[in-house]
Amino acid sequence: MADEETNVIIGLEVHCQLDTKSKLFCGCSANFRADAPNTHVCPVCLGLPGALPVLNKNAIEFALRVAKALNCTFTKEGEFCRKNYFYPDLVKAYQITMGDSPLATGGYIEIEDDAGNPKIVSLTRIHVEEDPGRLVHMGSKERGHYTLVDYNRSGIPLIEMVTEPELSSPKEARRLLSKLRATLEYLDVFDPEKDGSIRVDANISFRGHERVEIKNISSYKGVEKALTFEITRQKNLIRRGGTIARETRHFQERKGTTSSARSKETATDYRYFPEPDLPVIRVADWVETIALPELPDARRDRFMQQYSIAVGHARTITGDLRLAEFYEGIVDVGATVAASWVADILIGELNYRGMALETVTTRAQEFKNLISLVRSKTITDKAGVEVLRVWLDNLYAGDRTETPAQIVARLGLSREDGSSFRVIVEQTLASNHQAIADHKAGKKGALNFIVGQVLKETKGKSEPREIHAMVAELIGE
Amino acid sequence: MPDIYNAFLSRIEISSSVSGPLSGIRVAVKDNISTKNIPTTCASKILLGYIPPYDAHAVELLKAAGATIAGKTNMDEFGMGTTTENSAFCPALNPRDVTRVAGGSSGGSAAAVAGGLVPMALGSDTGGSIRCPASYCGIVGLKPSYGRVSRYGLIAYANSFEQIGPMAANVADTAKLFSVIAGHDSRDSTSVSKPYDLTGLYAGIKGKIVGVPKEYFGEGVDKHVAAAVTAAIDRLEDLGAAIREVSLPSLQYALAAYYVTCTCEASSNLDRFDGVRYGPEPEMNLPWHDAYTSVRKMGFGPEVRRRILLGTFSLSAGHYGKYYVKAQHAKQLIRRDFFRVLTDCDLLAGPTMPNVAPKLGELIADPLQMYQTDILTVPVNIAGIPAISVPCGTAHGMPVGLQLMGRMFGEDDLLNAALAYEEAI
């Protein structure tokens, strides 16, 4: 690793939409994504003159759960304040947020560093604020002649979590986000599947150089990409003897690059002051009454103990609440084999197809049956993967009728006894004299070549180990 | 009746079919209080064309009590002024002498009542905006305790000071209107559950201790006004009250604390008027920032712009601690002073305004001198306590207002005392 890279300092500001039923300061439904623009609005979230905010208790409860789970210290009196700035998506020309007195400070998140060792990342603060509306630019930037505003999002509750600048690599940043996401999911306060439900600002600098802020990155992958790009850019600049400007940059998701935000003549002055329309909130007694569910780390440890599965499997499976629930639902088919099928095979096949986990979690019994087929040696591991692929392809295409067992039957994938392949093995040996000669001459891999030919012929219905033994036997070893 | 005092910005007669305590009574509503389907402009060009899709809580209560909404009254733009000359449309005239101002900022409401156009009206009071025009026009006006009347639908000028309140020709009507609008509203987080019950209204003032803060008779108070108010306090003593001189030394900070805080809040409140969602349409061929600027430049009058600039300055980095934070300290001192004297005294008494209604144009050119006339009204807004202005004779041929100030949620003491005084003269 180059010297510079060990000196990278990264801090994150993570904004997640809290998955409440209604908005932060009014009764409008927060479930707006499927609906027409400006249909989830009222005088309050439109900022109409005279309208006043009323705090959604649920949103605070959600944020308190997060703060408690992340070991934060609670502020005696949390105070909302106004962040004043002009922008067409901001109905009141101020955002109600929290300043000097957030809900909670301190706290930490445990992740693994790039070497796989545990690492504690400190949190600076946690607070709650309102999301602004959304601008929709019509036409291209150069030729676009108007912009539409949709206020459905205006007033959606956001939780902002700020880390200390203690991350040392883009991968660490991504792991922190994954951990944070899992924790919020376990706490039942966040739905990562909702479009735009997470936004991240990342600060990055090389020790001894100015800090650059990358604003508004809207995916986990994006954060890693943007930071990786920035490291290269800053490193090159420093090598060429340039200076890093302290600035805000935007991330272009599609290109994977960052570009300087047009620097303003003067720094923005948000003129923060306490929000006079809302009382301070005292949470000390409230926090006491909040019970936390089992969190990702605890569940990981329990899985390792209760089901005797490997740490890697346990970590992967518990890193996503729905995956963990799914796993526990099918664990009686065999804990180890189920863990392997979920963590090593299923996730990859789903990702490859861009399919949501829900397609499988809603059909857990069928997936379980598939594992049973493998476990009972009705089909081989290889055939099992083949069945899974066909099954997923079917689901992807909208065909939900065929069960894994039916797929096995249709494709004739049932495992057959080694003896039924004897003819194929003999034929393969007969047409591969050279390979046998190579093997006898001590060339490694020659035998595997023959076994591979047979496996190909038998279409995965045979166990590699049995074929291997049969080949060895037939060539007299 | 024609509106010769420029009391109204819009006249409508929306009668309620409900029968209630205000059935058949016409009530005027200040134009910074939102009325569904009726233009609400705050007497500002920047809200021309804005028609609220909802009623303020107080307006809902009026309708539910059977009142007829008689129209929207003139005011200083966004409540910023003491004479209603800062209306973007026309100044309200004083029915007692049309060459004089009606006071402000609820000047239209006061003129409508004093001119006999309506028996009662809603005003709003941020730093004296109900009591000043009540005093100048010779009517009764009550600034309720902070939180007692919902602010939902009141277009904010300075959120932490202001209250909607009743104005009427006499104390009984003022109390009646107050009984309708007081009470809790879940849509205002600063609202408290303190309804007002009319039944104790004739309790009188006998045995009550009335404090007279010497600061209310200090420099700048017209001696004829002071004489009328002193005579009124003597009447209170005749009626059985014990009079005691008290002092509120922190009042020296009141005007500064008030103007810093209210301009800070106003600068933030008024930023939303950008032409994007309502009000005059901005020029479409400009970059958005320039379009905002042009709308706001055209839409706001000079006093509003002055206060936006002052507030923006006070909240800016490097100034916040010197101004906003200091003002909040002063606010605590003033509050403590009032609470201290009001543990011994049931009420405080003094003039509402240091003067009588000035001539039109007399003060408008000198904003600082105009701010000075708020010296006796702003302290109670800072403390959050209630105060009432009740007519007490004349000076220079114009009405003088006696101001009674009470404990937090002590409106019943104020109204009882005001009624006893009114009946005695």
Q: Comparing C-alpha atoms, which of B43, B47, B69, B74 is closest to residue B56?
A: B69
CA distance A348 to chain B (A): 47
pLDDT at A263: 59
The span from the CA of B118 to the CA of B71, in Å, is: 10
Considering only CB atoms, B151 lies closest to which of A48, A52, A149, namely A52
pLDDT at A418: 66
CA distance A272 to chain B (A): 7
CA distance A52 to chain B (A): 6
Higher pLDDT, residue B313 or A219: B313
CA distance A43 to chain B (A): 8
Chain A contact for B288, CB < 8 A? yes
Chain A contact for B332, CB < 8 A? no
- Are A47 and B272 an interchain contact pair (Cβ–Cβ within 8 Å)? yes
Interface of A with B in 104-163 (CB under 8 A): 149
- Are A52 and B47 an interchain contact pair (Cβ–Cβ within 8 Å)? no
Tell me the chain A residues in contact with residue B155 when contact means C-beta distances shorter than 8 Å: 49-50
Computed over every residue of chain A, the mean pLDDT equals 91
- Give yes or no for residue A477 having a pLDDT over 80: no
Is B129 catalytic? The answer is: yes
Confidence of residue A265 (pLDDT cuts 50, 70, 90): very low
A280 and A305 fall within a common domain: no
Q: Comparing C-alpha atoms, which of B229, B212, B117 is closest to residue B167?
A: B117
Tell me the chain A residues in contact with residue B288 when contact means C-beta distances shorter than 8 Å: 88
- Are B268 and A93 an interchain contact pair (Cβ–Cβ within 8 Å)? yes
Number of domains, chain A: 3
Chain A contact for B59, CB < 8 A? no
Q: How many CB atoms lie within 10 A of CB B200?
A: 12
Q: Which pTM was predicted? A: 0.91
Tell me the chain A residues in contact with residue B189 when contact means C-beta distances shorter than 8 Å: 52-55, 277-279
Tell me the chain B residues in contact with residue A49 when contact means C-beta distances shorter than 8 Å: 34, 40, 42, 47, 50, 52, 155-156, 272
Confidence of residue A2 (pLDDT cuts 50, 70, 90): very low
A275 and A305 fall within a common domain: no
CA distance A153 to chain B (A): 16
Confidence of residue A139 (pLDDT cuts 50, 70, 90): confident
Q: What is the DSSP secondary-structure string of B192-238?
A: ------GGGTT---TT-EEEEEGGGGSTTS-HHHHHHHHHHHHHHHH
Tell me the chain A residues in contact with residue B154 when contact means C-beta distances shorter than 8 Å: 50
Tell me the chain B residues in contact with residue A264 when contact means C-beta distances shorter than 8 Å: none
Tell me the chain B residues in contact with residue A92 when contact means C-beta distances shorter than 8 Å: 271-272
- Tell me the residue type at A186: Y
Catalytic residue among B34, B87, B105, B389: B105
pLDDT at A253: 87
Q: Comparing C-alpha atoms, which of A300, A340, A293, A342 is closest to residue A319?
A: A300
pLDDT at A1: 43
Phi (first) and psi of residue B11, to 5 degrees: -115, 130
Higher pLDDT, residue A471 or A43: A43
- Give yes or no for residue A142 having a pLDDT over 80: no
Considering only CB atoms, B271 lies closest to which of A50, A52, A86, namely A86
Enumerate residues 6+ apart whose C-beta is below 8 A from B366.
none
The span from the CA of A236 to the CA of B380, in Å, is: 64
CA distance A231 to chain B (A): 33
Chain B contact for A91, CB < 8 A? yes
pLDDT at A464: 79
- The strand order across the sheet containing A94-98 reads A94-98, A80-84, A273-274
Q: What is the DSSP secondary-structure string of A142-211?
A: TT--EEEEE-TTTT-EEEEEEE-S-B-SHHHHHHHHHHHHHHHHHTT---TTSTT-EEEEEEEEETTS--
A331 and A433 fall within a common domain: no
Considering only CB atoms, B265 lies closest to which of A51, A53, A276, namely A276
Q: At what angle do helices B411-424 and B223-238 cross, to 10 degrees?
A: 100
CA distance B283 to chain A (A): 13
Report the half-sphere exposure of B220 (CA within 13 A, side-chain side): 15
Chain B contact for A55, CB < 8 A? yes
Computed over every residue of chain B, the mean pLDDT equals 96
- The residue whose two tokens read 């009946």 is B423
- Are B40 and A49 an interchain contact pair (Cβ–Cβ within 8 Å)? yes
Confidence of residue B135 (pLDDT cuts 50, 70, 90): very high
A236 and A350 fall within a common domain: no
A349 and A431 fall within a common domain: no
The span from the CA of A339 to the CA of A332, in Å, is: 11
> For B169-198, what is the mean pLDDT?
98
Q: How many CB atoms lie within 10 A of CB A310?
A: 14
Is B23 catalytic? The answer is: no
Tell me the chain A residues in contact with residue B292 when contact means C-beta distances shorter than 8 Å: 86
The span from the CA of A10 to the CA of A359, in Å, is: 36
Among residues A362, A393, A411, which one ends one of the domains?
Answer: A411
A89 and A30 fall within a common domain: yes
- The residue whose two tokens read 């042009």 is B294
Question: What chain A residue is nearest to B56 in terms of C-alpha separation?
Answer: A50
DSSP state letter for A261: P
> Model confidence over B104-134: pLDDT tens digits?
999 999 999 999 999 999 999 999 999 999 9
Considering only CB atoms, B272 lies closest to which of A43, A91, A276, namely A91
Three-state secondary-structure class, residue B391: strand
Domain hosting residue A434, numbered range? 418-474
Tell me the chain A residues in contact with residue B317 when contact means C-beta distances shorter than 8 Å: 269
The span from the CA of A69 to the CA of A293, in Å, is: 9
**Burial code of B128-153, b = ≥16 C-beta within 10 A, e = fewer?**
bbbbbbbbbbbbbbbbbbbbbbbbbb
Question: What chain A residue is nearest to B40 in terms of C-alpha separation?
Answer: A49
Among residues A387, A411, A435, which one ends one of the domains?
Answer: A411
DSSP state letter for A21: S
- Are B50 and A49 an interchain contact pair (Cβ–Cβ within 8 Å)? yes
pLDDT at A266: 52
**B8-204+351-424 placed in CATH 1.10.357.10:** no
A115 and A38 fall within a common domain: yes
Among residues A360, A389, A411, which one ends one of the domains?
Answer: A411
- Are B54 and A52 an interchain contact pair (Cβ–Cβ within 8 Å)? no
Tell me the chain A residues in contact with residue B316 when contact means C-beta distances shorter than 8 Å: 269, 271
Q: Which of A133-142, A168-177, A352-361, A452-461 has the highest mean pLDDT?
A: A168-177
A279 and A303 fall within a common domain: no
- Are B189 and A53 an interchain contact pair (Cβ–Cβ within 8 Å)? yes
pLDDT at A268: 78
What ipTM does the predicted assembly reach? 0.96
Considering only CB atoms, A84 lies closest to which of B189, B268, B292, namely B268
Cα torsion B175, B340, A276, A199 to 10°: value is -150
A230 and A332 fall within a common domain: no
Considering only CB atoms, A52 lies closest to which of B189, B277, B320, namely B189
- The residue whose two tokens read 């194929």 is A424
Question: What chain A residue is nearest to B154 in terms of C-alpha separation?
Answer: A50
Considering only CB atoms, B54 lies closest to which of A43, A53, A84, namely A43
| A397-411, B213-227, B334-348: least confidently modelled range | A397-411
- Are A279 and B189 an interchain contact pair (Cβ–Cβ within 8 Å)? yes
> For A422-443, what is the mean pLDDT?
81
Interface of B with A in 254-273 (CB under 8 A): 264-265, 267-268, 271-272
Confidence of residue B366 (pLDDT cuts 50, 70, 90): confident
Chain B contact for A38, CB < 8 A? no
The span from the CA of B339 to the CA of A146, in Å, is: 56
Chain B contact for A27, CB < 8 A? no
Q: What CATH number is given to the structural domain containing A436?
A: 1.10.10.410
Kindly calculate the radius of gyration of chain B based on its CA atoms and give it in whole angstroms.
Answer: 20
Q: What is the DSSP secondary-structure string of A92-128?
A: TSEEEEE-SS-SEE--EEEEE-TTS-EEEEEEEEEEE
Interface of A with B in 253-312 (CB under 8 A): 269, 271-273, 276-279
Tokens of B165: 């309140």
Catalytic residue among B16, B30, B44, B150: B30
- Give yes or no for residue A408 having a pLDDT over 50: yes
Polymer length of chain A = 477
Chain B contact for A99, CB < 8 A? no
CA distances to A308, A332, A337, B276 from A372, rounded to whole Å, are: 19, 10, 10, 62
Q: What is the DSSP secondary-structure string of B19-66?
A: -STTTT-EEEEETTB-BTTB---TT-GGGTT---SS--HHHHHHHHTT
Tokens of B389: 């202005």
- Are B268 and A82 an interchain contact pair (Cβ–Cβ within 8 Å)? yes
Catalytic residue among B34, B109, B124, B129: B129
Enumerate residues 6+ apart whose C-beta is below 8 A from B264.
A273, B311, B314, B315, B323, B324, B327
Tell me the chain B residues in contact with residue A55 when contact means C-beta distances shorter than 8 Å: 189
> For A284-295, what is the mean pLDDT?
95
Tokens of A279: 């009382």
- Are A271 and B277 an interchain contact pair (Cβ–Cβ within 8 Å)? no
> For A280-299, what is the mean pLDDT?
95
Kindly calculate the radius of gyration of chain A based on its CA atoms and give it in whole angstroms.
Answer: 28
Chain A contact for B152, CB < 8 A? yes
- Give yes or no for residue B7 having a pLDDT over 60: yes
